[in-house]
Structure formats: C-alpha cells, structure tokens
C-alpha cells in the first residue's frame, strides 16, 4: 500500500530498471495498463514527507532536493504573514536547450501521461489549477495528443520553448511563459516567492515530475529499490558522441559512466575522454570510466550528474579542439546582458581556439585561466560559471595535449605538425 491510497495500487510498480519507459506506448491505455491510475489528490505534508524519504533530486541539472523546492513554493503560496493567499503556478520544464540532451524530448514523446500526472499532482498539492507545460514544438505535439485523451489535463497550458541553449534556465522559462523572450533574468528574487507575474512559481523538470508520479503511486521504498543510498532511483542519460548508437537510457542511480557508454556501444579503450553534464559540464578522462554517475563520484572532476548527459570523445579527436568549439558556441548563446557574457566569453573562446589551433604563444593557457576566473560568478545566471568550468576542465584533463600543442603537435594526430610558431 502506498502513502496516498487507502487501497493497494491497481498494478504493481515496474520491476527492474525500466520504469519511466515501462508502458508499451504513449497512449492513455498503455499508460494505465503499465502504471494504473494516479491518485486524484495528495495531502501536501504526506507528499513532502514521501518525496524526502525517496531522496528524489531534480533531474533538470541542478540536482536540488525535490521536496525542498515544492515546500518552498507551497509555503510562499500559503504564507499567513502575507494575509492573502497567492495563487501559485507550476511549470513543467521540457526545454533542454543543451544540444547533447535528448532525454526530456524522448520522455515527452514516450510517456507524456506520466509527466501530466506529476504536473497535476504537484499543482493540486499546492492548491492551484494553474499548470503549464513548456517544451519545444517537436515535443509539444505528443503532449497535445495526451491532453486530448484525458479530461483532467484540459486546463494545462502548453507553451512552446525556442531551441536555444538557455531556454530551459528557470528564469528564462518564466520569462518565456510570461510572453517575453526566453532569456535569463537576475536571481535576486526567489522564484518560489516571486516568479511568473510575481506569483509563487515552481519550475520542475519533466523527468522529475514523471518520477513524482511513480513515487505517489508506488512509494519511496519502491523508488529506492533501484540506485544507491545517495543516488536513489533511476535516471535518464543521453549518450552521444563517438558511440555506436547515441540514445537515451534509463540507468540505476550511481551506475558507472562506463556502463552507460557500454550500453550505447562505446568501446572504452578507443576513447580519449567523456564530457559529463553537457556543455556546462566537465571532462572525465577515459581511464576513469569506472567513476559513478553520482555527486560524490564526479566531484573530484568538477562534474555532477546534472541532466544525465554523456558525450564520448574518441581517441582520434582533439579534446582542446572539441572544447574550443563548445566554448565558441556557448559564447554565442547569451543575450549579452551582463559583462561576463558581453566581453569575457567571446575572449575566452577565442583564446582557447588559438591554443587548440596550434598557436604556440606560451601565455595562452594562463590567459584562459585568468579569463575563466574573471567571468565565473559575475553573471546574473550561471552561464559564465558553466562555461568557465568546461574550459578549465579541458586544461586539466588534456594538460599533456596543451604542452603538445604549444610544441606544434596534437596527441589526437600523432606525426602531424599543427599551427605555427609565434
Ligand atoms: S550571465 Fe550571460 S546568459 Fe546569464 S543573464 Fe547575464 S548575459 Fe544572460
């Protein structure tokens, strides 16, 4: 019996690691056959306690404890000191932005009803009917079909997200849902207290909502029956790059990076490194593929599980060149509202590109470090921090190649001279 039901669930929780994709299709019939109906409402304190017991952390990137975010919004919406109850809004965020991430798009197409269940349950638990699903147009069609299949989701507003890197950043989401451009704004005011139209706002990743829908049905103990104590449950990973079959997998929490890559057909010996966490992430050297996809395991590399993004870099590819291409892309993706993005990121990308291309000026690595330190922590959002993390990681993980480039060679192309001495 679960926390919310006075009778046992109609069906048992999925066994094994395939949970979010347990239904044999995206339609309501398949969804109900796999998971049974969701409870119509959930007592908020009970839901918060169960989410805390489950250990579910957000799957959008920041990894914040889910119950805490929900509790903050709920208490802002019902704060007696403000006298008036302020109608909260819940936004399901399916905008990945990140070019290497496919998990939310895949989930929205394969299991839209699970996401809608989570969205409606969370909205009900904080006493609002104001629910929004924000995602790129390529995913919204599947959601629209799912909404048509059920009465209870008719009030969910669907909002199209642009395909830009920062469109999924929480404040950009609120801007876009409010009718403005999908660009971040400053974080001075807490979203839980003053988000969309100044109202308490909860922006929750769509995978997180799908997990909530399962925890509400089958309980925290069931959720914890996969994963580890610190990385409970399952998580989706998007595997791409130099692998046989780029795709999205559901893996147990704390699985090794190598096991996720092996599932996608990456022979570990042919890799140079793996980018963990996407363009705002960090490199993991190929010798450390046994590292757990966990906060603790990845911390020494400056990485985190984040949104579950893994990009394999083959041994015949240059890590500095790949990093420079990413840094150049990231520098192009801000609205240049803040100094670090307007001035720092283009310069940072340019210096790293010169190093990658074989410019032998010995001051280049030091200049990359100086610029990275200059931009980090100085933007209104985390875009400069994430970019600085990526470039600093490239200098660390590819340190021997930095020396090779300064000597006119590249480890990815032995025997070939690169660049020119200056
Ligand atoms: S730090 Fe950069 S991306 Fe973030 S709000 Fe400022 S200009 Fe935009």
Q: pLDDT, tens digit, for every residue of 39-64?
A: 877 889 999 999 999 999 999 988 88
Which atom of ligand 1 is nearest the CA belonging to 183?
8
Write down the pLDDT at residue 352: 98
Q: How confident is the model at residue 80 (pLDDT cuts 50, 70, 90)?
A: low
> Which pair of structure tokens corresponds to residue 175?
């801007």
Min mean pLDDT across 4-18, 22-36, 64-78 is at: 4-18
Enter the DSSP assignment of 226: S
Q: 356 or 12, which is more confident?
A: 356
Neighbours of 231 (CB within 10 A): 23
Min mean pLDDT across 116-130, 199-213, 333-347 is at: 333-347
Write down the pLDDT at residue 408: 92
Write down the pLDDT at residue 1: 42
Write down the pLDDT at residue 152: 94
Ligand 1 binding residues, C-beta < 6 A: 166, 183-184, 334-338, 340-341, 379-381, 383-384
CA distance 390 to 372: 10
CA distance 211 to 229: 17
Pairing of strands 157-161, 282-285: unpaired
Distance 171 CA to ligand 1 centre (A): 11
Residue with tokens 């009803």: 113
Q: pLDDT, tens digit, for every residue of 209-267?
A: 999 999 999 999 999 999 999 999 999 999 999 988 899 999 999 999 999 998 877 66
Which atom of ligand 1 is nearest the CA belonging to 336?
7
CA distance 214 to 360: 55
**How much of the chain exceeds pLDDT 70, in percent?**
94
Beta bridge partners of 232: 227
pLDDT exceeds cutoff 60 at 384: yes
Contact yes or no for 301/288 (Cβ under 8 A): yes
> Which pair of structure tokens corresponds to residue 47?
């839901």
* Domains of the chain by start residue, with CATH: 28-224 (3.40.50.11540), 234-314 (3.10.20.600), 319-406 (1.20.1440.230)
CA distance 90 to 122: 8
Min mean pLDDT across 96-105, 224-233, 268-277, 352-361 is at: 268-277
Q: 189 or 92, which is more confident?
A: 92
Nearest residue by C-alpha to atom 4 in ligand 1: 381
Distance 107 CA to ligand 1 centre (A): 29
Nearest residue by C-alpha to atom 2 in ligand 1: 341
Contact yes or no for 236/250 (Cβ under 8 A): yes
Helix (H, G, I), strand (E, B) or coil at 39: coil
Pairing of strands 271-276, 309-314: antiparallel
Distance 333 CA to ligand 1 centre (A): 9
Distance 374 CA to ligand 1 centre (A): 14
Helix (H, G, I), strand (E, B) or coil at 381: coil
Closest CA to 235 of 253, 209, 216, 262: 253
Whole-model pTM above 0.75? yes
Residue range 349-365: mean pLDDT, rounded: 95
Nearest residue by C-alpha to atom 6 in ligand 1: 338
Q: Could you tell me the strand order of the sheet in which 131-136 lies?
A: 157-161, 131-136, 89-93, 201-205
Alpha helices, DSSP H, located in 338-398? 339, 345-357, 364-375, 383-397
Residue range 132-145: mean pLDDT, rounded: 96
pLDDT exceeds cutoff 80 at 8: no
pLDDT exceeds cutoff 50 at 370: yes
């Amino acid at each position: 019996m679960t926390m919310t039901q006075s009778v046992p669930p109609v069906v048992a929780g999925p066994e094994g690691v395939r949970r979010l994709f347990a239904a044999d299709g995206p339609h309501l019939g398949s969804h109900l056959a796999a998971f049974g109906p969701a409870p119509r409402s959930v007592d908020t304190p009970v839901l918060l306690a169960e989410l805390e017991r489950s250990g579910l952390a957000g799957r959008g990137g920041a990894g914040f404890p889910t119950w805490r975010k929900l509790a903050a919004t709920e208490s802002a919406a019902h704060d007696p000191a403000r006298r008036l109850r302020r109608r909260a809004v819940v936004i399901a965020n399916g905008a990945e932005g990140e070019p290497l991430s496919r998990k939310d798009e895949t989930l929205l197409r394969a299991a839209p009803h699970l996401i809608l269940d989570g969205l409606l349950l969370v909205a009900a638990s904080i006493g609002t009917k104001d629910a929004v699903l924000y995602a790129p147009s390529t995913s919204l069609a599947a959601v629209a079909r799912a909404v048509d299949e059920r009465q209870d989701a008719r009030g969910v507003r669907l909002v199209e997200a642009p395909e830009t890197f920062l469109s999924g950043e929480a404040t950009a989401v609120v801007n876009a849902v409010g009718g403005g451009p999908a660009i971040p704004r400053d974080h001075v005011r807490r979203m839980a207290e003053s988000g969309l139209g100044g109202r308490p706002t909860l922006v929750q990743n769509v995978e997180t909502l799908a997990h909530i829908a399962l925890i509400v049905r089958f309980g925290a103990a069931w959720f914890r029956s996969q994963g580890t104590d610190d990385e409970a449950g399952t998580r989706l990973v998007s595997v791409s790059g130099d692998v046989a079959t780029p795709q999205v997998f559901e893996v147990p929490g704390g699985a090794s990076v190598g096991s996720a890559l092996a599932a996608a057909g990456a022979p570990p010996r042919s890799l140079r490194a793996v980018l963990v966490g996407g363009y705002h992430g960090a490199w993991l050297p190929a010798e450390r593929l046994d590292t757990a996809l966990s906060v603790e395991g990845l911390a020494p590399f400056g990485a985190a599980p984040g949104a579950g993004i893994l990009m394999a870099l083959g041994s015949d590819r240059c890590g500095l060149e790949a990093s420079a291409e990413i840094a150049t892309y990231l520098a192009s993706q801000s609205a240049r509202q803040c100094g670090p993005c307007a001035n720092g990121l283009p310069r940072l990308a340019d210096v790293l590109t010169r190093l990658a291309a074989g410019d032998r000026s010995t001051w280049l690595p030091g200049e990359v470090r100086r610029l990275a330190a200059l931009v980090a922590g100085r933007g209104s959002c985390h875009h400069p921090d994430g970019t600085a993390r990526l470039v600093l990681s490239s200098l660390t993980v590819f340190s021997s190649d930095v020396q090779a480039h300064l000597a006119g060679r590249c480890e990815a192309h032995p025997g070939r001279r690169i660049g020119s001495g200056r």
